Amino acid sequence: MKMNRWLFLVLLLSLLFVMVASASADENNATELKELLRVTKELRQRVEQLEKKLQKYEAKEQQLEAKQQELEKAKEEVSGIKKALGNLEFAADITMVAQGTINNDDNAKRAGSEGKDKVDAAWSMDFDITSKIGESGTGFLKLEAGQGYGVNDEVGAISGINDDAPETEDPIVEVTEAWYEHAFGSVPLVATVGKVDLTNYFDANEVANDETIQFL
């Protein structure tokens, strides 16, 4: 009988020890679980922050790519302009003339003016653009601008005193030449099509073809 009591007591103590150990293990597991949940929450917040930064970086990368495309397009346009300008040649000249009359009463009356001496001025400007087109072609454009009468209307002369004067009170700009010329390499032949100045081809006056260096 005593043996059974001792056995029961040992079993009871063993059961209490197991229960205490189990409770301690459960408490440790709960603490570890709380710590794991806390770390998981922090990691989740960190991941969200990194995702937001990644989205910002991706947006900036897209903006940089768009700017890079714009830059490449601008480079192509500049390259095209440089290539086009590389085939262009420019030339310009300007002429300014001031003229006056002295004791011009008789001539002025014959010219139908007021019969007084007068001083007047006129100016003209030429702007030429030449472009090489292909291996055998040439394009040409001439703009002429000017203003003033000079004294052409004050002097009753047979020929003009200043044939270069535009004879207008307001400034004007005109396209006086615009043509394309093609040279045929196989034969000595050149064809010109467009608006041309015939005095460049048929002119008997050898001393009045250029108002900047010859007679007016």
| The last residue of a domain, from among 33, 60, 86 | 86
| The last residue of a domain, from among 44, 71, 86 | 86
| The last residue of a domain, from among 86, 112, 145 | 86
Q: What is the tens place of the pLDDT at every residue in 72-93?
A: 888 888 787 777 666 788 888 8
Query: Is the same domain home to 76 and 94?
Result: no
CB of 165 closer than 8 Å to CB of 150: yes
Query: Is the same domain home to 162 and 187?
Result: yes
Query: Is the same domain home to 24 and 34?
Result: yes
Query: Is the same domain home to 66 and 120?
Result: no
Domain assignment of residue 10, given as a range: 1-86
Mean pLDDT value across residues 65-76: 85
Domain membership of residue 78 (yes or no) is: yes
What is the token pair recorded at 5? 């009591």
CB of 172 closer than 8 Å to CB of 146: yes
Q: Which pLDDT score is estimated for 78? A: 77
Q: What is the tens place of the pLDDT at every residue in 155-204?
A: 766 766 777 777 778 888 999 999 999 988 777 888 999 999 887 777 76
Contacts with 58 (C-beta within 8 Å, 6 or more apart), sequence order: none
Query: Is the same domain home to 196 and 94?
Result: yes
Q: Report the predicted TM-score, pTM, of the whole model to 2 decimal places.
A: 0.54
Domain membership of residue 208 (yes or no) is: no
pLDDT at residue 52 is higher than 50: yes
Query: Is the same domain home to 107 and 175?
Result: yes
Q: Which pLDDT score is estimated for 2? A: 46
Number of domains in the chain: 2
Residue 125: name the closest of 163, 88, 174, 167 by CA: 174
pLDDT at residue 205 is higher than 60: yes
Query: Is the same domain home to 92 and 196?
Result: yes
